[in-house]
Amino acid sequence: MNTVVEPNSFKTGPDEEGMFGIFGGRFVAETLMPLILELQQAYEDAKNDPSFKAELQALSTHYAGRPSKLYYAEGLTHHVRQMAKDQGLDGGAKIYFKREDLNHTGSHKINNCLGQILLAKRMGKTRIIAETGAGQHGVASATVSARFGLPCVVYMGATDVERQKPNVFRMKLLGAEVKPVSSGHGTLKDAMNEALRDWVSNVEDTYYLIGTAAGPHPYPELVRDFQSVIGTEAREQILEREGRLPDTIIAAVGGGSNAIGLFHPFLDDKSVEIIGIEAGGRGLDGEEHCASMSAGRPGVLHGNRTYLLQNKDGQILDGHSVSAGLDYPGVGPEHSWLRDTGRVSYVPILDDEALEAFTLTTRTEGIIPALESAHAIAHAVKIAPRMTQDKIMIVNLSGRGDKDVHTVGQLLGMDI
Amino acid sequence: MTTRIDRKFAALKAEGRPALVTYFMGGDPDFDTSLKIMKGLPGAGSDIIELGVPFSDPMADGPAIQAAGLRALKKGMSLTKTLDLAARFRQTDDTTPIVLMGYYNPIYIYGVDRFLVDATASGIDGLIIVDLPPEMDEELCIPAIKAGINFIRLATPTTDDKRLPKVLQNTSGFVYYVSMNGITGSALPDTRRVAAAVERIKKHTDLPVVVGFGVKTAEQAKVIGSAADGVVVGTAIVNAVANTINPDGSLVADPAEAVATMVKGLSSGVRASSLAAAE
């Protein structure tokens, strides 16, 4: 659709207007415009302030538990090699997990929240709001708010409140106020609308802690920067372990913050194949999926231009995914640009395939992955048997799956 | 080039009273009824019509306008049909300005160039696109101006003196001052602060300044009207429509009549404010 000239480097975006090619931008109401300009300035200042970097570094190490481990998933690797054998092949790539599930709060979300709460503090903001899908970002926001003594309001779709109960309870324990949003399908998109309405009504004291690498500039950039620690570490760790770069890296994409975090440091490593996994839901034929880049087209929502699921009148569709964290009809703008440039390929994984990977990982590795991460694992398991055994892949295990046990139990017909 | 909007404000200036700007949602509760509502507005005292384009994700709107948009979408309303609504209105009224108000995505998907051609043909005079700040002027604002359509910008309490010139730079028709930070349908703010804000904006522009967000009664319209060149009423009108609809979708009263009654009351408010200003 949009032909793009391949740039010298894939790591230079966004431009001053917050654009990644035609994607990104600042499509917000005038009320918010001065705020995002102020945020941009504050972020520029912070980036150049060694004390900001030092404080974030210290919190990452001692509070969040970084660096996260790069783990050789031997059980899963054995499994894919067995699969290959069964097909009469002798392949089976070596699979590593980047263990973001081991971070404090159980997912990659803490990386971004620590960075942004320090920004909020610098800006003198006294109230935090956030949107959440699976509740991972909500929990991380509630956590850093508790840590820094700020009140926190989390908007969460009513459907998600229902399917992610453990996380709702965690947020409440942490002192956050969870506001269920019942408009639309009651999922992440609706939570984001409501958070934006809160922000526009409380501009003086409120900091909007966006959970993904989307929204108006500078959010996609700053969230990516805070999450890039994932890829920076993974790159160093694999070089140390294997003495070379991986052949393939894979991450699940909802809004796409864990994915861009892993991908960004590898973007200019041309030998590394990069794959983003979208939620294929119940299949791409109907509307029950969230594969905005596989089945959507560029449009404008939530402050940025990006691939969106929408009808021919430009009305946004609700989409569906078994995983609340991927249940969003859009995607961060940098992913849209990476898609169009061809640097990253984006492929869908169905609900059922993700569930299967969830169970498989639990049984072969003794790790219960988040349903979001299970999408990425599912694709790894799908392609690994056809790769030779000397190939190396890194899958971002973006979060742990404790929050999903109710959903999975229900789908598998098990009583909890 | 003067537009219907420019001519209307010139006429009102001669008359010595502020404009009553009325917002309603196109296609709410259905296409035909909303056409009837629209046709009734000028007679009830509306000077300028803001025609809402429904959008699935109206991020700057409160519950009333969100619900109105969803009602319209459920009945199959679209941007195409909203333009058709305006065109049908134009068949019998060639003077009342129509300002299309909504979000960018439906226009972006329609295609900006095609949209501007069709909007002009439908008799649209101005655009208020909530999520297009001056930073994004290349998208629609500049092309709209070239097509002879006013691009009306919102100024808000967060738009400080440093930013105002940027906001006003490509604004034409009038300036819409959002009298508070928040979503549509919120409570009315202190009128003295509104008056001060209008004065502040007028230091930067000769364009008429209309004030919106929160006006519900004739008395409020009168008070705000005495401090500005116009008063926008939106949520109250949308609520008047909503109050005629049963939960099952059937009507308890005629929505067009309910809106006309409400607008007549508001109109008496703005007409009284010319007297108030003269006192």
Instruction: Report which residue type is found at A164.
Output: Q
| Cα–Cα distance for residue pair A53/A65, rounded to 1 Å | 16
Fold of B4-278: TIM Barrel (3.20.20)
Please tell me the distance in Å from B146's CA to the nearest CA on chain A.
Answer: 21
Q: What confidence tier does B137 reach under pLDDT thresholds 50, 70, 90?
A: very high
Spatial neighbors of A347 by CB under 8 A, at least 6 apart, are A275, A276, A277, A278, A294, A379
Cβ neighbour number for residue A260 with a 10 Å cutoff: 31
Q: Which of A224, A259, A285 is the C-terminal boundary of a domain?
A: A224
CA-based nearest residue in chain B for residue A182: B63
User: Among residues B28, B61, B125, B229, which one is catalytic?
Assistant: B61
- Cis amide linkage into residue B208, ω under 30° from 0: no
Collapsing DSSP to helix, strand or coil, A394 comes out as strand
One domain for residues A56 and A170: yes
CB contact under 8 A, B105 and A300: yes
Cβ neighbour number for residue A372 with a 10 Å cutoff: 33
Distance of CA B275 to the CA centre of its chain: 24
pLDDT, position B279: 43
Smallest CA-to-CA distance from B226 within B11, B18, B15 is with B18
Average pLDDT across chain B, whole number: 92
CB contact under 8 A, A30 and B156: yes
Q: What confidence tier does B266 reach under pLDDT thresholds 50, 70, 90?
A: very high
One domain for residues A318 and A393: yes
Q: What is the number of structural domains in chain A?
A: 2
pLDDT, position A4: 59
| % of chain B beyond a pLDDT of 90 | 78
**A127 pLDDT exceeds 60?**
yes
* A13-24 residues labelled b (16+ CB within 10 A) or e (exposed): bbeeebbbbebb
One domain for residues A91 and A211: no
B197 near A CB under 8 A: no
- Cis amide linkage into residue A218, ω under 30° from 0: yes
- Look at strands A127-132 and A94-99 and give their pairing: unpaired
Spatial neighbors of A96 by CB under 8 A, at least 6 apart, are A70, A71, A72, A73, A238, A241, A246, A392, A393, A394, A395
Query: In chain B, where are the structural domains located?
Result: 4-278
Please answer whether residues A178 and A139 qualify as being in contact, where contact means their C-beta atoms are separated by less than 8 angstroms. no
pLDDT, position A165: 86
| Cα–Cα distance for residue pair B118/A148, rounded to 1 Å | 53
Determine, yes or no, domain membership for A248: yes
A29 near B CB under 8 A: yes
Q: Which of B84, B160, B181, B201 to probe the A interface (max A CBs under 10 A)? A: B181
Q: Which of A175, A205, A224 is the C-terminal boundary of a domain?
A: A224
B79 near A CB under 8 A: yes
Determine, yes or no, domain membership for A295: yes
Chain A residues lying within 8 Å of B186, measured CB to CB: 201
Chain A residues lying within 8 Å of B156, measured CB to CB: 29-31
pLDDT, position B275: 53
Spatial neighbors of A402 by CB under 8 A, at least 6 apart, are A106, A166, A368
Average pLDDT over residues B203-218: 90
* A123-151 residues labelled b (16+ CB within 10 A) or e (exposed): bebebbbbbbbbbbbbbbbbbbbbeeebe
CB contact under 8 A, B160 and A34: yes
Chain B residues lying within 8 Å of A32, measured CB to CB: 158
Chain A residues lying within 8 Å of B213, measured CB to CB: none
One domain for residues A346 and A278: yes
**B184 pLDDT exceeds 80?**
no
The beta strands (E) that lie in A202-256 are given as: 206-208, 248-252
Distance of CA A264 to the CA centre of its chain: 13
pLDDT, position A279: 96
Collapsing DSSP to helix, strand or coil, A293 comes out as helix
CB contact under 8 A, B104 and A300: yes
Spatial neighbors of A86 by CB under 8 A, at least 6 apart, are none
CA-based nearest residue in chain A for residue B61: A197
Determine, yes or no, domain membership for A15: no
Determine, yes or no, domain membership for A196: yes
Instruction: Report which residue type is found at A197.
Output: R
pLDDT, position B278: 45
Q: Length of chain B, please?
A: 279
CATH number assigned to the domain comprising residue A82: 3.40.50.1100
Determine, yes or no, domain membership for A43: yes
pLDDT, position B187: 62
**A2 pLDDT exceeds 80?**
no
Q: Which of B71, B114, B135 to probe the A interface (max A CBs under 10 A)? A: B135
Q: Render pLDDT for A213-249 as a digit per residue (tens, 0 to 9).
A: 999 999 999 999 999 999 999 999 999 999 999 999 9
Q: Judge whether B135 counts as a catalytic residue.
A: no
Q: Render pLDDT for A343-357 as a digit per residue (tens, 0 to 9).
A: 999 999 999 999 999
- Look at strands A297-301 and A303-308 and give their pairing: antiparallel
CA-based nearest residue in chain B for residue A298: B109
One domain for residues A35 and A52: yes
Please tell me the distance in Å from B84's CA to the nearest CA on chain A.
Answer: 14
| Cα–Cα distance for residue pair B68/B76, rounded to 1 Å | 13
Pick the more confident residue, B219 or A79.
Answer: A79
Give the structural domain span for A288: 65-106+228-411
CB contact under 8 A, A31 and B108: no
Determine, yes or no, domain membership for A2: no
Determine, yes or no, domain membership for A3: no
Q: Which of A174, A192, A224 is the C-terminal boundary of a domain?
A: A224
A202 near B CB under 8 A: yes
Q: Render pLDDT for A244-292 as a digit per residue (tens, 0 to 9).
A: 999 999 999 999 999 999 999 999 999 999 999 999 999 998 889 999 9
Average pLDDT over residues B200-205: 94
Chain B residues lying within 8 Å of A303, measured CB to CB: 131
Largest CA distance in chain A: 65
Collapsing DSSP to helix, strand or coil, B166 comes out as helix
Instruction: Report which residue type is found at B26.
Output: G
**Partner residue facing B135 (CB), from A33, A189, A305:** A33
One domain for residues A58 and A101: no
| Cα–Cα distance for residue pair B51/B82, rounded to 1 Å | 8
A193 near B CB under 8 A: yes
Q: Length of chain A, please?
A: 416
One domain for residues A250 and A361: yes
One domain for residues A59 and A90: no
Tally C-beta pairs within 8 A across A and B.
Answer: 118
Average pLDDT across chain A, whole number: 95
Give, to the nearest 10 degrees, the angle between helix B218-225 and helix B191-202: 40
Smallest CA-to-CA distance from A250 within A378, A162, A137 is with A378
Q: Render pLDDT for A129-161 as a digit per residue (tens, 0 to 9).
A: 999 988 999 999 999 999 999 999 999 999 999
For the beta sheet containing A248-252, the strands, ordered from the edge strand earlier in sequence to the opposite edge, are A70-72, A94-99, A392-397, A248-252, A273-281, A344-350
| % of chain A beyond a pLDDT of 70 | 99
B163 near A CB under 8 A: yes
H/E stretch holding A201 reads: helix A188-201
Chain A residues lying within 8 Å of B235, measured CB to CB: none
**Partner residue facing B158 (CB), from A34, A312, A317:** A34
Q: ipTM value of the model? A: 0.94
One domain for residues A181 and A252: no
One domain for residues A299 and A251: yes
**Partner residue facing B135 (CB), from A17, A197, A305:** A17
Q: Render pLDDT for A160-178 as a digit per residue (tens, 0 to 9).
A: 998 888 899 999 999 999 9
Q: Render pLDDT for A367-416 as a digit per residue (tens, 0 to 9).
A: 999 999 999 999 999 999 999 999 999 999 999 999 898 889 988 888 77
Pick the more confident residue, A74 or A414.
Answer: A74
CB contact under 8 A, B57 and A189: yes
Please tell me the distance in Å from B74's CA to the nearest CA on chain A.
Answer: 11
Smallest CA-to-CA distance from A42 within A114, A121, A144 is with A121
CA-based nearest residue in chain A for residue B154: A30
Q: Judge whether A51 counts as a catalytic residue.
A: no
| Cα–Cα distance for residue pair A72/A66, rounded to 1 Å | 18
**Partner residue facing A310 (CB), from B61, B109, B181:** B109
Determine, yes or no, domain membership for A88: yes
B243 near A CB under 8 A: no
Largest CA distance in chain B: 51
CA-based nearest residue in chain A for residue B158: A31
**B254 pLDDT exceeds 50?**
yes
* Cα end-to-end distance, chain A, whole Å: 47
Taking only residues 103 to 132 of chain B, the set having a beta carbon closer than 8 angstroms to any beta carbon of chain A reads 103-110, 130-132
| Cα–Cα distance for residue pair A342/A350, rounded to 1 Å | 23
Average pLDDT over residues B210-230: 88
pLDDT, position B62: 87
